[in-house]
Structure 1
Amino acid sequence: MQGTIDGFSYGAVTPVAAFLMACLGAALGLRCTTRSLRTERSFKAGWLALGATSIGSGIWTMHFIAMMGFSVEGVVIDYDKAITFASLAVAIGMVAIGIFIVGYRGATRMALVTGGTITGLGVATMHYLGMAGMRLPGQFEYDTITVTLSVVIAVVAATVALWAAVSIHGFLPSLGASVVMGVAVSGMHYTGMAALNVHLHPGALVGAGSDDAQTAPLVPLLIGPGCFLLLAAVVVMFDPLMVMGTPDWDDPKVLNGAGRRPGIPAPRPVPRQVPRFGTHADPASFHSGPRDPAPPGEW
C-alpha cells in the first residue's frame, strides 16, 4: 500500500530552521578551516577537528530538524538510536577526512577535488543512513536518478565550500559562502526526500499519528549536537588563539614596512647582555647592537 508523505507538516518552520542550522554549521566549519591555515602546526589539527565536527553536527542537526516536518499519514514514526547516532559519526568522520586533506595539502586542485568528494559523500551517506534509522510499518523505495542527483549536489556543495574556506577571506564573503553551502545542503536533503516512496505493510494504518508523536523521538537526540554548535560558536567568537597570542602575529601581510603592525609603536631595544655579577647594573654595560671588540689583553 502506498503511503501518503507530507514533508512539511509544520509549514515553513522546519525548512527555515533546518537551513539556519546548516548555515551555522557551515559558517563555524569554514571559519575554523580558514584559521587552521593561518596558525602553527601545533594548533592546525585542533582547528580542523573543530571545523569538521561543526560542519558534521550542523548537517546532521539540519537533517533531523527537517525530519520533524516529515510524516506518513496514518502511522507513527520512531528512530533507531544506534543507527541515528552512527549517521552523526559518519558525517563528522568523513567531513574530517576531507577537511584535513585540504588543511594539510592546501588549495591544490587534487586536494579540493578529493576532499570535496569525500566530504560530499559523507553528507549523502549521513542522509541515507539517517533515513535507514527510521522505524515505521513499511519500507522505503528510492528513485535512482533523483538519489544520484542528490549525491552530485552534495559533492559539488562540499567542494565549493572547501574552496571558499581556503580562498575567500573577510566576514561578508565567508558569510556568503556559508549561506551558499546551507542552500546546497538543504537542497541535497529535499532532493533526496523527493526520491522517496513509502510502501506500507498491509494493516499498517492504525490511526492518524499526531505531529507531537512524530517530533517527540527527535527532540532529545538534537540536544547534544545543538549545544555543541552553540559552544563552538562561542569558541570561534572569542578565538582562544587571540587570547593566548596568535602564532601569526609576525605575518608579513599584517605588518608594515617597519616590521610592526600599523599604529603600534616600535618595541624598546632588548639588552644583548646583562652583567652577571653585582647587585646594580651599569647602564653603560647594556648594548642594543653588537659589542665592540675587547681591547688587547682583556677578556
Structure 2
Amino acid sequence: MQGTVDGFSYGLVTPVVAYLMACLGGALGLRCTTRSMLVTRSWRIGWLALGSAAIGSGIWTMHFVAMMGFHVREAPVHYDKTMTFASLALAIVMVGVGIFIVGHRGATGTALFTGGTLTGLGVASMHYLGMAGMRLNGKLEYNTLTVGASVVIAVVAATAALWAAAQVRGFLWSVGASLVMGLAVTGMHYTGMAALTVHLHDADGIPAGEPAAGLLAPMLIGPLVLLCLAGVVVVIDPRMVMGRPDRLPEERLPGIPAHATASHLGGREEFRPRRDHHDHRRPGSRTPQNR
C-alpha cells in the first residue's frame, strides 16, 4: 500500500524557516570564503574551515527544519541517530573540500567547476543520507529523473554562489550569493522530496529509532550555536561585512611598504606600490635637488 506523504504539515512555516536557515549558513560560509582570499595563507585555512562548518551546518539545519513538517499519514516516522549525525559530518566535509579548492585556487575555470560540483554534491549527499536515516514501517522509493534534477539544481546553484562570493564586491553582493546558496539547498531538498514515494508494509509495527520531534529539535541546537558563533566572527570583523579588499597592517607580507595596495586575482595577492599622478619622471632621472 502506498502511504500518503505530506511535506507541509505546518503549512509554509517550515519551508520559510528552512530557507532562512539555508541563507544564514550560506551567508556566513560564503563571507568566510571571501575573507580567506584577503589574508595570508597562514590565516586562510582557518577562514575556509569556519566557512565549511557554517555552510554544512546551514544545509543540515535547513534539511531537518523542513523534515519537521514531513509525515506519512499511515505510519509514524522515526530517525536513526547515527545516520542523522553522519549526514551532518558528510555535509561539512564535502562542502569543505569544494570551498578549499575555490579558496586556494580562485573561483575561475576548472577550480570553480570542481569546487562548485563538490559543494553541490555535498548538499545532495547530505539530503539523501539524511533520508536514509529515516525509519518507518515501509519502504522509500525515488524517481530517478527527479533525483537527477535535484542534484543538477544543487550543483549549478552552488557553483553560482561560490563564483559570486569570490567577487569581493561588498555586502549586497554577498547577500545575493547567500540567497542563491539558500535557493540551491531548498530547491534541491524539495525537488528530492517530490521524487519520494512511500510503500507501506502490510504488517503494523513501530519502527526502530527516535521519534522525529524528540530527536530533531534537540539536535538542531548544536548547529544553530555554531551558526551564531560564525555570525559573531563576521560581526567583529568589519571587512567581512563591507568586503573591503585591503589588508590590515599586521597582515602585510615582509618587505611590503605601508602604502602598497593589493590586487587579488584568483585567490592570489600581488602588491603594487602606488605612484604619484604628478610624478612623470622616467626611471633613473634625477630630481633638481640631486643635480
TM range (shorter): 0.7 to 0.9
Residues 154-208 of structure 1: CA deviation (Å, up to 9, x unaligned): 11011111111112421011101111211221111000000000011113388xx
Partners of 1:56 and 1:192 lie apart in 2 by 18
Residue 75 (structure 2) pairs with residue 57 (structure 1): no
Partners of 1:63 and 1:250 lie apart in 2 by 48
4+ long deviations beyond 6 Å: none
Selected match of 2:237 from 206, 229, 239: 239
Shift of 1:214: 4.0
Residues 29-70 of structure 1: CA deviation (Å, up to 9, x unaligned): 110000000001110000000001100100010000000000
Q: Which has the larger share of strand?
A: 2
Equivalent runs, 1:109-120 vs 2, <5 Å: 109-120=109-120
Partners of 1:251 and 1:143 lie apart in 2 by 57
Partners of 1:171 and 1:184 lie apart in 2 by 20
Match of 2:224 in 1: 226
Question: Is the CA contact 1:21–1:61 (under 8 Å) kept in the aligned structure 2?
Answer: yes
Match of 2:24 in 1: 24
Equivalent runs, 1:44-193 vs 2, <5 Å: 44-193=44-193
Selected match of 1:252 from 218, 239, 261: 261
More off after superposition, 55-64 vs 175-184: 175-184
3-state SS, counterpart of residue 141 of structure 1: strand
Partners of 1:152 and 1:30 lie apart in 2 by 20
Match of 1:291 in 2: none
More off after superposition, 33-42 vs 174-183: 174-183
Shift of 1:216: 2.5
Equivalent runs, 1:246-285 vs 2, <5 Å: 247=251, 252=261
Residue identity opposite 1:150 in structure 2: S
Unaligned runs of 5+ in 2: 241-247, 253-257, 264-271, 277-291
Shift of 1:8: 0.4
TM-score (norm 2): 0.81
Residue identity opposite 1:192 in structure 2: G
Q: Over the residues paired in the alignment, what is the CA RMSD in angstroms?
A: 2.3
Unaligned runs of 5+ in 1: 207-212, 260-299
Residue identity opposite 1:61 in structure 2: T
Structure exhibiting the larger radius of gyration computed from Cα positions: 1
Question: Is the CA contact 2:78–2:134 (under 8 Å) kept in the aligned structure 1?
Answer: yes
Residue identity opposite 1:252 in structure 2: T
3-state SS, counterpart of residue 107 of structure 2: coil
Match of 1:216 in 2: 214
3-state SS, counterpart of residue 167 of structure 1: coil
Shift of 1:256: 9.9
Question: Is the CA contact 1:138–1:204 (under 8 Å) kept in the aligned structure 2?
Answer: no
Partners of 2:21 and 2:41 lie apart in 1 by 30
Partners of 1:22 and 1:99 lie apart in 2 by 16
Partners of 2:165 and 2:260 lie apart in 1 by 19
Which gives a bigger RCO, structure 1 or 2 (Cα 8 Å, sep 6+)?
2
3-state SS, counterpart of residue 220 of structure 2: helix
Question: Is the CA contact 1:39–1:246 (under 8 Å) kept in the aligned structure 2?
Answer: no
Question: Is the CA contact 1:68–1:214 (under 8 Å) kept in the aligned structure 2?
Answer: yes
